[in-house]
Amino acid sequence: MRVHTPVPPSRLPQLGVTVFSVMSALAQQHQAVNLGQGFPDFDGDPALLDAVDAAMRAGHNQYPPMPGVPALRQAIAAKIETLYGHAYHPDTEITVTAGATQGILTALLAVVHPGDEVIVLEPAYDSYAPNIALAGGVRVPVPLDPQTFRPDFDRLRAALTPRTRAIMINSPHNPSGAVWSADELRQLAELLDGTEVLVISDEVYEHMVYDGHTHQSVSRLPELAARSFVVSSFGKTYHVTGWKIGYVAAPAPLTAEFRKVHQYNVFSVNSAMQHGIAAYMGDPAPYLGLSDFYQRKRDRFRAGLAESGFVLRPCPGSYFQCVDYAGLRPDLAALDDMAMCQWLTREIGVAAIPLSAFYGGGSDAKLIRFCFAKKDETLDLALDRLKRI
């Protein structure tokens, strides 16, 4: 008998390794400052680490309840009601997830059936398209304004069909940093009024909104909250992205469907971390102060970049800064954005991410994305290198 490994048809035949893995590996190879992948290079609050350690030592090391530890779900519900004015029931409307990405995939698997259409505003976080494909859905890309990255409601209206199951939105936006306004949320509510279209709202950067503005969660509008899955991330908020822990808030009927999938693709999430985060959330100061913390980093990074040849795009939220390199010397301006990021990593020693990675069909708008969720000395080292261009 022969030794044979059957290879079935791929569920995601067009996909390979993500650009984030590719650029991080290249950064390591060339000892570059990695401003590509979106994670901090500093640790979370020692008080949070102590809270998790205490939870472990208190014996919280076995399976927690499938929807999440009650104390954590109660803390999440209290936070949302305080900040956004919407009361989610912690028992029936909040589920703790293994990161926001799992929450998004689970929401799609719960409600999207083969052939259903899902509207995606592009550029978009790169997990959306394969998540839709895994659910058997059809991705319907609608471009954001290429200069401001704001939604075009005429295009959104034109994209709606009887087969539209959901629309995915993201504010603050990855990769551009754009932030939806209260008026834009009202326009979305009006657009969807009278339809059966659901909303999957990716709000993982909710506490990173700058210049005195506030995050406009879909939870603020009862008309949107009633049809939405709201996704957030403790990893982003508390500088512990490797913990992969987040949550999804949704009305009880949607949560019931969500949990049917959740219980079979994850079942439950790290018990000690849930108990530790629940205790840590007793003090809201860490997340209430996050905007000021990251605005200082944004301003430091933007001031340094202003001395380079890059053209800075606005950054009202998130921890990403997009820049236009079309005005650099001709040989660099002629490169596509992936080649430009590879050149920066090899020759300058700073890694970035091409914006084309956030478009299903690709793009070459001469835009790249830096992450400024880094120590000041990391940002300063990157800026010193970038000034050599």
What 3-state class would DSSP assign to 214? coil
Q: Which candidate, 14, 255, 250, places its Cα nearest to that of 126?
A: 14
Amino acid at 280: Y
Residue 167 pLDDT: 98
Q: Which of 24, 25, 39, 31 is nearest to 382 (CA)?
A: 31
- pLDDT classification of 198: cutoffs 50, 70, 90: very high
State whether residue 97 is helix, strand or coil. Answer: strand
pLDDT digits over 70-101, tens only? 999 999 999 999 999 999 999 999 999 999 99
The C-alpha atoms of residue 187 and residue 378 are separated, in whole angstroms, by 41
Q: Mind listing the domains of the chain with CATH numbers?
A: 19-44+290-386 (3.90.1150.10), 46-286 (3.40.640.10)
Residue type, 346: R
H or E element, residue 228: strand 228-233
Q: Which of 27, 380, 370, 373 is nearest to 176 (CA)?
A: 370
Q: Which residue in 63, 120, 75 sits closest to 249, CA to CA?
A: 75
Helix, strand or coil, per DSSP, at residue 120: strand
**16 has a pLDDT exceeding 80:** no
- Tens of pLDDT along 364-374? 789 999 999 99
Q: Which two tokens stand for residue 298?
A: 């944004």
Selection from 326, 331, 330 nearest residue 368 by Cα: 326
Closest by Cα among 296, 121, 129 to 201: 121
Spatial distance between the Cα atoms of 211 and 100, rounded to a whole number of angstroms: 26
Strand partners, 232: 247
What confidence tens digit (pLDDT) does each residue in 270-281 have? 999 999 999 999
pLDDT of residue 180: 98
pLDDT for the residue numbered 13: 86
Q: Map tokens 């890309």 to a residue.
A: 141
The single-letter code of the amino acid at 92 is: T
The amino acid at 93: E
Nearest-5° Cα angle at 231, 227 to 237? 150
Pull the structure tokens for residue 158: 């034109």
Nearest-angstrom CA–CA distance, 101 and 231: 9
Residue 14: the pLDDT is 81
Contact assessment for residue 184 and residue 107, using Cβ atoms and an 8 Å cutoff = no
- CA separation for the pair 176, 367 (Å, rounded): 10
DSSP 8-state code for residue 241:
G
Percentage of residues of the chain with pLDDT beyond 70:
100
* Predicted confidence (pLDDT) per residue in 284-340, tens digit: 999 999 999 999 999 999 999 988 889 999 999 999 999 999 999 999 999 999 999
pLDDT tens digits for 248-263? Answer: 999 999 999 999 999 9
What is the average pLDDT score of the chain? 96
All residues at 6 or more sequence positions from 263 whose CB lies less than 8 Å from its CB, including other chains: 66
Residues found in the chain: 389
